[in-house]
Amino acid sequence: MRPASSPLPPSSSLPPLRTLDSLTGDRIFDAIRNLSRIYCPLSFHLEEPHSKKPVDEPLVDSGYTSGSEDDKGDALTALRADGFERSFAERWLTGFLARAAELSCLTSDDARERAVEDASCVLESFYTNSAEDEQKQEELAHYVREFTFDVSIPGRGQGKEINFRVNDGLAGQNPEEPDDVGLQSWGASVVISNIMCAEPDRFGFSRGALGPSPRIIDLGAGTGLVSLVLAQLLPQLGISDSTVIATDYHPAVLENLRANVAANSCLSSPGRLEVAALDWSAPTHEAPLDKPADVLLATDVVYAAEHSVWLRDCATGLLAPEGIFWLIATVRDTGRFDGVSDTVVPAFAAEDRPVAGDGRRLTILNEERLEKRNGIGRGDESGYKLFRIGWA
């Protein structure tokens, strides 16, 4: 992941309206995206964050808040409040919408529709947000985290950068919700997203291996980071009709997950991305979880003794006959999570584990250690175990 650059002032970054047709469609989408970053922080349906952290939460360093992030938030707030910049942006958006139907640089109806929708989205926010909404957005903008990943496409080199924002860092703020850990993106999801984008072949993410319309389920998706990455990565790999389903069981986490997915559906060209409730301890197979998954993914989901067995049994009911389950367990060598990642191997080797109709059982096919990366993840994380699990 690269640090995200700060949004630029509209007056110095928007291309003149008269030059629009000489630009590329990407340049136009970048301009609208920049405006959205300034004026449309995510739509929040969460309660206000509580200021106190629970005392027994083993908070080491989250690795996510830094002085520079705070500075960025302040700069963004100032930019959003600048009346000159706002009316400049408003005039540009109005002019863009008036010309959009004739712009040949928007090469397909789909691209034109999306650009108009995205621009309208930002313009509408100028008229619909009350002063109270604005203030709330400013406060909560500090909980918006931006992610940027470089993509490398096998045989073709650099792909289109993946970029999105999520409501993040809200875990552990509400003493009444001790289990809301999924309101934060964890180190494992950032590390694995980096690798998936840099080396998609390593996960078999290619049209040849997965076909044009694979189903992928993210278990314990939290903020939805990995799902959001996949929804943007797979189309770049020629997998044009993918469905990614981000799941979780915790009501507040699901609500935030839905908000993150909705907020990012506007500004990219992602594959299909859905959200569904799924509890590993009592899985149901209602739509959209009624069809087998070609890929299951789960990052930092083993942090209690029973999790490995729940995940194994849940995955047994979800994974397609040729499917692969990528399980990333975070290794914590200190505190109350010490040794929990060691529960994965025995769970998937147990003689009494469930058997599929064809007699095969979920089995670890490969285990690899991933190093902790500087500045990513909490201080108690010492690395990650990447398990490749399939039927054997």
Ligand X SMILES: C[S@@+](CC[C@H](N)C(=O)[O-])C[C@H]1O[C@@H](n2cnc3c(N)ncnc32)[C@H](O)[C@@H]1O
Site of interaction with ligand X (CB under 6 A): 181-182, 185-186, 188-189, 220-223, 225, 248-250, 253, 278-281, 299-301, 310
Q: Is residue 340 within 8 Å of residue 302, measured between CB atoms?
A: yes
Which residue from 328, 331, 256 is spatially nearest to 298, judged by alpha carbons?
328
Shortest spacing between CB 219 and ligand X, in angstroms: 7
Round to whole Å and give the CA distance between 333 and 321: 35
Residue matched to tokens 């197979």: 285
Shortest spacing between CB 193 and ligand X, in angstroms: 9
Q: Cβ closer to ligand X: 41 or 169? A: 169
Going from the C-alpha of 310 to that of each of 49, 350, 366, 373, the distances in angstroms are 31, 13, 20, 29
Shortest spacing between CB 183 and ligand X, in angstroms: 8
Round to whole Å and give the CA distance between 142 and 173: 14
Going from the C-alpha of 228 to that of each of 137, 164, 231, the distances in angstroms are 22, 8, 5
Q: Cβ closer to ligand X: 169 or 220? A: 220
* Sign of the CA dihedral running 194, 308, 379, 258: positive
Round to whole Å and give the CA distance between 280 and 219: 8
Round to whole Å and give the CA distance between 183 and 44: 13
Shortest spacing between CB 104 and ligand X, in angstroms: 42
Bridge partner residues of 388 (DSSP): 326, 366
Please report, in angstroms and rounded to a whole number, the separation of the first and last CA atoms in the chain.
35
Q: Cβ closer to ligand X: 92 or 348? A: 348
Spatial neighbors of 112 by CB under 8 A, at least 6 apart, are 100, 101, 103, 106
Shortest spacing between CB 256 and ligand X, in angstroms: 9
* Sign of the CA dihedral running 359, 246, 195, 27: positive
Shortest spacing between CB 189 and ligand X, in angstroms: 3
| In the complex, residue closest to ligand X by CB | 182
Shortest spacing between CB 246 and ligand X, in angstroms: 9
Q: Cβ closer to ligand X: 240 or 284? A: 284
Q: Cβ closer to ligand X: 44 or 186? A: 186
List alpha helices for the chain, DSSP H. 10-13, 25-39, 67-81, 83-99, 109-128, 131-140, 187-198, 207-210, 225-236, 251-265, 307-318, 344-347
Shortest spacing between CB 257 and ligand X, in angstroms: 8
Which residue from 123, 133, 129, 105 is spatially nearest to 266, judged by alpha carbons?
123
Residue matched to tokens 């997950």: 257
CB atoms within 10 A of CB 47: 13
Round to whole Å and give the CA distance between 289 and 279: 12
Shortest spacing between CB 68 and ligand X, in angstroms: 22
Instruction: Give the dihedral of Cα atoms 257, 61, 136, 78; nearest 10 deg.
Output: -120
Q: Cβ closer to ligand X: 106 or 183? A: 183
Q: Cβ closer to ligand X: 89 or 183? A: 183
Q: Cβ closer to ligand X: 95 or 379? A: 379
Q: Cβ closer to ligand X: 63 or 182? A: 182
Q: Cβ closer to ligand X: 187 or 323? A: 187
Shortest spacing between CB 272 and ligand X, in angstroms: 20
